[in-house]
Structure 1
C-alpha cells in the first residue's frame, strides 16, 4: 500500500502541511465510490507542485491519500468545523456540490479503521516535524496549504477571493505572522484577498496553532483559478499563472522564515 504520508525535511522554522493534494484511493475503497466520487473532483490539485521549491529549506508534510478516503483536515472526533454551514465530514458523504459520492457509504467501523491507517499517521508525522523544528528555533510555523474552486455555491456565495487567509480570528499565530502574510497578499497586484472569511482555518490550523507554546499556524486557501488553466477536468496546471503566484508565495514564505518572536527563538 502507498505510504499515507510523504515528508521532505528542511531546517527552516516553516513547515508546509498539505492534507488534500493526495489522490491515492485503495482499491477496496474505490470500489465503493460511485462515478461522482471516482472523479475525485475535490482534490487540492497540484498544490504540492505549486509550492515545490518555493522555500527550499522548508519542511513539507504531504498526505498521499485522497480526502474521500478520510479528510486529514477534519477533527478525528468528527466535530464540525463550521456549525450551521454546509461542509464536508471526516469521511465525506458528498462532494463540494452536495452530490452523493458513495454507492456503499462507509460504516462507523470503516471510518475508525481509516482514522488509524491514514489520518493518524499523517498527523503523527506533522506533529513530529513541528516538534523537530521548534527544537531548532524555539518556535515553529505551520503554513497549511490548500486550494479550492473559486465558485462552489454549496459551500459559499459568489466568487471566492484569490487569497483566503485563516488564523481562526487571530487565535492560531502571533499577530505579526498574520500581518506579514496579509501585507504581501494586499500588495499582490491583480489578486483579491480576505482574512478569516469563509475559511478561517481547518482543524489542522486550529489544533496546532498554540502560540503560547511556540507553535504558530496559518492556513492559505488559494482559488484554483490562480494557477489552473480551468477549474474543471483535466485540472491542468497553468505554468504562466503558477509562476506569477509562486513569486508571491515565495515572498510570503521567505518573510515567515525570517520572522522571530520578540522573546526567544532566533536572534
Structure 2
C-alpha cells in the first residue's frame, strides 16, 4: 500500500497482522481457528495506516505469523518439525527455534503445538521462497527508496503484544493488573524497541515516547521487546537507516479473547498517527541538521 509519491522518510511494516489462513495449513493444524487468531497482531495494519496520509508506504503480510514468521531470519528452522534433512545453512540453534518460534513456528500462545504431525521439508522451504523472500525484497526496496528521496529512512515495525506479557498496573486502558498486588510497576501500553540503541537514533525514539506520554500512555523501552530480526537487519543509524519497533498492548484496542475491535480502536489509531507525524517531523529536522553540518 503506497502513496502516489513519498511524502516523508517513514516506511511502515506490519509482518504479523495477516489473517488469511491457507486451506492446506488449516488441514494440518491441531488448533481451532480462534486459537490461531489469538496469536495474530490482529488489526495492527489498520491501527498504523494513518501514517499513509503522511506519504509513508506500508507493507503488510496477508498470511498469518503461525504460517510463516517474517520477523525471523529466513531459515531459523527446528529439525524436529520436518520430514527431511534441513540444509546446512539453516539456523537450528537460535533461542527462538528452541522456544518453538522459528521462521515456521512450532507453537503458539502457552506452548500450544500447532501441527499434528511433521511437515514435508519441501513445503516449508516453499513458504520461504514464495512469501518470505518477496516480502523482504519489497521492504528493502521501500527503505532504499525513502533514503534515496530524503537522505535517510525510518522504518516503523508495527506489532501488538498480549496484555499479560509485561509488567502491569492501571494504565489509560483502565485494565486491572495481572501482576502480583505488591508489584507497583505501571502498565506498559506501548513498548518501543530499538535494540538498545543499535537500530535507531535516540532522538527518534525520544520523539515517539514523548508523543505517547503526552497523550497519556505508559511507555517502556526495550523490555520485554527490544526488536526482532526486522529491526536488527534493517536498522543502521550510522548509515542513516533507522528502525524502531512499536508494540501496542492488545488490551488497548481489542478484546483479546474474541479477537474483535474495542470501542477504543479509533482513539489508539489516532494516537499512532500522531506518533508517525512526530517521527516524520523529527526525521526532517535531523536531516536538516545533517545538511547544515555538511554545508
Runs of 5+ consecutive residues of structure 1 not aligned to the other structure? 1-6
Aligned to 1:53: 50
Aligned pair count reads: 253
Q: Following the alignment from structure 2 to structure 1, what is the Cα–Cα distance between the partners of residues 273 and 50? A: 9
| CA spacing shift, 1:51–1:82, aligned 2, 3 Å | same
**Distance in structure 1 (CA, Å) of the matches to 2:214 and 2:279:** 16
Question: Which of residues 189, 206, 210 in structure 1 aligns to 2:236?
Answer: 210
Partner deviation per Cα, 1:7-60 (whole Å, 9 max, x = no partner): 324512111000011112322222111124674221111111212234411110
Matched, 1:101 2:114: yes
Q: Does 1:173 align with 2:169?
A: no
Distance across 2 between alignment mates of 1:178 and 1:82: 27
1:185 aligned onto 2:199: no
CA RMSD of aligned residues (A): 2.5
User: 4+ residue stretches of structure 1 with deviation over 6 A?
Assistant: none
CA drift of 1:87 comes to: 6.3
Q: Report deviation, 1:178.
A: 1.1
Unaligned runs of 5+ in 2: 77-90, 167-177, 180-185
The answer (yes or no) to whether the contact 2:252–2:268 under 8 Å persists in 1 is yes
The 1:183/1:38 distance shift into structure 2, 3 A limit, reads closer
Encode CA deviations 1:65-124: one digit per residue, 9 max, x unaligned.
111111011111315775699562211111021111111333433322111111111101
- Which structure shows the higher helix fraction? 2
Shift of the 64–84 alpha-carbon distance from structure 1 to 2, 3 Å rule, reads closer
Partners of 1:145 and 1:220 within 8 A in 2: yes
Are 2:270 and 1:257 aligned? no
The structure with the largest alpha-carbon Rg is 2
State yes or no: 1:14 paired with 2:10: yes
| TM-score, L = length of structure 1 | 0.86
Q: Distance in 1 between matches of 2:209 and 2:95?
A: 23
